[in-house]
Amino acid sequence: MRNLNTICKFAMFGAIGFGTGLTIIVVIDIEPWLVGLFLPGAVGGASLGWALGGWKKAWPLALAGAIGFGGGRALTIILAFSFEWYGIGFQAVMGAIMGAIGGLSLGMALRNLAWAGFLILVGAIGFSIGYVAYRQIIDQLILGVSPYLSIIWGIIGGAFLGAALGYLEKRKVDRKTSASN
């Protein structure tokens, strides 16, 4: 049960961190084209860092999250305008690119290439699912649904990334305890 608690804890920190970052953009009405995911990446990264070990881990992951997710967003904007490709397929690719680059940056900040590979994969999957869910709700223009549901994207992607980090951390702790026995 302790192992599941670790994974759930990290998933919640990821969902809350990235969801909060996107909520801040919505509430203070920051233009997302200019800010991209720098702010949500920073808040999400800091949240995951806090779950890993407090402030000592929070600030490097905040910086890595800002660079990775902001850079990933910038790349997807360039691709969107370069190829003029829109629709659900492109939405999935955009989310995957942002999640993969963000996962890579977090793994690099943790100085663990094996973890980076896993975070790239899970970040790509989670943020792809989150971005498609968000865009499809907005694109369908469901009456009564706020166009500010971008927080869905952060919650889903952050939960995936947090769960992956929790799983990796759990494995690390399990290896240390079995080695000491």
CB atoms within 10 A of CB 60: 18
Task: Show pLDDT as tens, one digit a residue, over the chain (181 residues).
Answer: 456 688 999 999 999 999 999 888 878 777 665 666 789 999 999 999 999 988 898 999 999 999 999 999 888 888 888 877 677 788 889 899 999 999 999 999 999 999 999 999 999 999 999 988 887 776 666 665 565 677 888 999 999 999 999 999 988 887 877 777 6
Asked if 108 and 120 touch (Cβ cutoff 8 Å), the reply is no
**DSSP reduced 3-state for 147:** coil
Q: How many residues does the chain have?
A: 181
CA distance 42 to 48: 10
Distance in angstroms (rounded) separating the CA atoms of residues 136 and 21: 21
Task: Give pTM, 2 decimals.
Answer: 0.88
User: How far apart, in whole angstroms, are the C-alpha atoms of residue 41 and residue 22?
Assistant: 9
Q: What count of Cα atoms within 13 Å lies in the side-chain half-sphere of residue 177?
A: 6
For residue 105, give every residue at least 6 positions away whose Cβ sits within 8 Å of its Cβ, in sequence order, or none.
Answer: 64, 65, 67, 68, 69, 71
Q: Which pLDDT does position 91 carry in this prediction?
A: 83
Largest CA distance in the chain: 59
- pLDDT score at 11: 96
